[in-house]
């Protein structure tokens, strides 16, 4: 089973299926604190996860299933649950190896826990992953619906330990399919009472974080500034529109998708927006001289390879897990005098907008709006200013300052439900969830 980690997710799923395994879990032992698995053969996988300090941080559990209709590898990653049930978006993405699949889920779940805590939400950290099938089967009619139907049933089987939502590769329409099979879902379309696509409000939150970072370094407001942006998808496009309204001098955006590039060119025709074609693995936009570098694509782009060429004083974007290695690369940025706003501080508004939608909705919801102002101590602007000031005063990185504050908040027990989420996880394991 150790070799599973270096297999593609599809090959790993095939190996599990051949061994008669439909479901598996890895969970933290309440006595030793170590990871244990539903199969003895998962022992080396558990040890490898524990040794990855950038990914593993006392996670409660990982649940894995092979989709009932599609056979796709499905995962639910649960970080800490003191504040409540694990909640986080569902990423539908290709991975080269099972190791990469597991690592991404663990890192994203931890980030969600910290994000929810700093936002004042009573949720734990969670993340869903579907390993995207790159074979011809994925092009069959009805395949996508089958994939999300599988995931909905998977979430239902976890009995509320994990609440799923939208993330990269998943749309509100996909969430509607999931909702047909589980009630443990958020970021649903407005047509079924949900909050819809959170891209616009996520973009607003990142803009607030940029404004706070500019204030911190004494650079004034956004007027006349040059912004370099990696990724111009839904969130990036919304950001561009808002930045232009605030008077930025120029936006240079690198975008991989040809269709999205065309949309950007049409939408911002006549505006000071340059749209560049980005090829896979093209990181040249990170070296663009600018006032603010905005990573909006996938994680790991700030690394020992890219950081030396960054020509911006501030890095602040919507992408999750921007640092390839949190401690090493955070310190490398600080050593160059570059202010990096931790991603889970800046991009929180997606989960803020949809996380509590089951409690009903309000126009101009004050619980949402306070996140975007400057009066509340927990707002994005106030949090960024506080963390950057703390980092400068204590000679640590902004990421270290954010992690310390968030991890303290993560330990606060839910005032209503207490330890219920952890009890659900342990009951699933005690009752033999893996046997279906």
CATH number at residue 336: 3.40.50.720
Catalytic residue among 7, 127, 225, 305, which? 127
pLDDT of residue 355: 84
Say if residue 79 is in the same domain as residue 169.
Answer: yes
Among this protein's residues, is 225 annotated catalytic? Answer: no
CATH of the domain at 107: 3.40.50.10860
Say if residue 11 is in the same domain as residue 77.
Answer: yes
pLDDT of residue 172: 83
CB contact at 8 A, 104 and 95? yes
- Whole-structure pTM value: 0.92
The answer to whether residue 415 is domain-embedded is no
Say if residue 218 is in the same domain as residue 167.
Answer: no
The range of the structural domain enclosing residue 158 comes to 2-197+423-435
The answer to whether residue 328 is domain-embedded is yes
pLDDT of residue 334: 97
How far does CA 159 lie from the centroid of its chain?
A: 22
Say if residue 151 is in the same domain as residue 251.
Answer: no
Say if residue 246 is in the same domain as residue 333.
Answer: yes
Say if residue 66 is in the same domain as residue 171.
Answer: yes
The answer to whether residue 27 is domain-embedded is yes
The answer to whether residue 320 is domain-embedded is yes
The answer to whether residue 418 is domain-embedded is no
The answer to whether residue 182 is domain-embedded is yes
Which residues make Cβ contacts (< 8 Å) with residue 268, sequence separation at least 6?
Answer: 240, 241, 244, 251, 275
Under DSSP, is residue 191 helix (H, G, I), strand (E, B) or coil? helix
Say if residue 235 is in the same domain as residue 193.
Answer: no
The answer to whether residue 171 is domain-embedded is yes
The answer to whether residue 37 is domain-embedded is yes
Say if residue 332 is in the same domain as residue 396.
Answer: yes
Phi-psi region of 53 (alpha: psi -120 to 50; beta: other; left: phi over 0): alpha
Q: Provide the number of structural domains found in the chain.
A: 2
pLDDT tens across the length of the chain (436 residues) = 447 899 999 999 999 999 999 999 999 998 888 999 999 889 899 999 999 988 888 899 999 999 999 999 999 999 999 999 999 999 999 999 999 999 999 999 999 999 999 999 999 999 999 999 887 677 788 999 999 999 999 999 999 999 999 988 898 889 999 999 999 999 888 888 888 788 899 999 999 999 999 999 999 999 999 999 999 999 999 999 999 999 999 999 999 999 999 999 999 999 999 999 998 888 999 999 999 999 998 788 999 999 999 999 999 999 999 999 999 999 999 999 999 999 999 999 999 988 888 888 888 889 999 999 999 999 999 999 999 999 999 999 999 999 999 999 999 999 999 899 999 999 999 999 999 8
Say if residue 245 is in the same domain as residue 256.
Answer: yes
Say if residue 217 is in the same domain as residue 185.
Answer: no
Say if residue 169 is in the same domain as residue 222.
Answer: no
Q: Which of 62, 43, 152, 139 is nearest to 106 (CA)?
A: 62
Q: Which of 301, 377, 375, 376 is nearest to 340 (CA)?
A: 301
Say if residue 299 is in the same domain as residue 372.
Answer: yes
DSSP H helix total and E strand total for the chain: 15, 13
């Amino acid at each position: 089973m150790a070799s599973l980690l270096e297999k593609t997710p599809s090959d790993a799923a095939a190996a599990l299926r051949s061994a008669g395994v439909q479901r598996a879990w890895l969970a933290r032992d309440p006595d030793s604190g170590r990871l244990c698995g539903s199969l003895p053969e998962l022992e080396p996988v558990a040890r490898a996860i524990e040794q990855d300090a950038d990914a593993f941080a006392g996670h409660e559990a990982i649940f894995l299933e092979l989709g009932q209709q599609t056979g796709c590898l499905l995962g639910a990653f649960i970080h800490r649950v003191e504040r409540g049930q694990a909640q986080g978006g569902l990423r539908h993405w290709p991975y080269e190896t099972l190791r990469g699949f597991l690592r991404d889920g663990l890192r994203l779940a931890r980030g969600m826990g910290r994000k929810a805590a700093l936002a004042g939400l009573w949720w734990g950290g969670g993340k869903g992953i579907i390993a995207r099938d790159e074979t011809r089967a994925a092009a069959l009619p009805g395949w996508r619906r089958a994939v999300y139907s599988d995931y909905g049933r998977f979430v239902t089987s976890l009995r509320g330990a994990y609440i799923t939502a939208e993330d990269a590769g998943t749309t509100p329409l996909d969430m509607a399919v999931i909702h047909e099979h589980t009630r443990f879902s958020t970021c649903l379309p407005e047509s079924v009472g949900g909050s819809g696509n959170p891209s616009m409000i996520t973009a607003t939150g990142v803009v607030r974080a940029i404004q706070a970072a500019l204030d911190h370094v004494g650079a004034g407001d956004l007027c006349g500034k040059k912004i370099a942006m990696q990724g111009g998808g839904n969130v990036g496009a919304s950001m561009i529109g808002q930045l232009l309204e605030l008077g930025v001098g120029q936006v240079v955006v690198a975008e991989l998708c040809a269709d999205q590039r065309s949309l950007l060119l049409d939408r911002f025709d006549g505006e000071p927006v340059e749209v560049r074609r980005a090829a896979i693995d093209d990181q040249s936009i990170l070296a663009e001289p600018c006032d603010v570098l905005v990573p909006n694509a996938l994680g790991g782009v700030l690394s020992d390879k890219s950081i030396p060429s960054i020509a911006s004083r501030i890095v602040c974007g919507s992408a999750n897990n921007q640092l390839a290695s949190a401690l090493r690369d955070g310190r490398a940025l600080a050593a160059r005098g570059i202010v990096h706003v931790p991603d889970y501080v800046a991009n929180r508004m997606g989960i803020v907008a949809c996380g509590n939608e089951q409690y009903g909705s309000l126009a101009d919801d004050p619980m949402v709006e306070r996140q975007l102002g400057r009066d509340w101590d927990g707002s994005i602007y106030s949090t960024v200013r506080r963390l950057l000031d703390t980092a400068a005063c204590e000679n640590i990185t902004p990421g270290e300052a954010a992690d310390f504050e968030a991890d303290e908040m993560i330990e606060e027990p839910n005032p209503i439900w207490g330890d219920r989420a952890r009890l659900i996880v342990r009951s699933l394991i005690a009752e033999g969830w893996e046997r279906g």
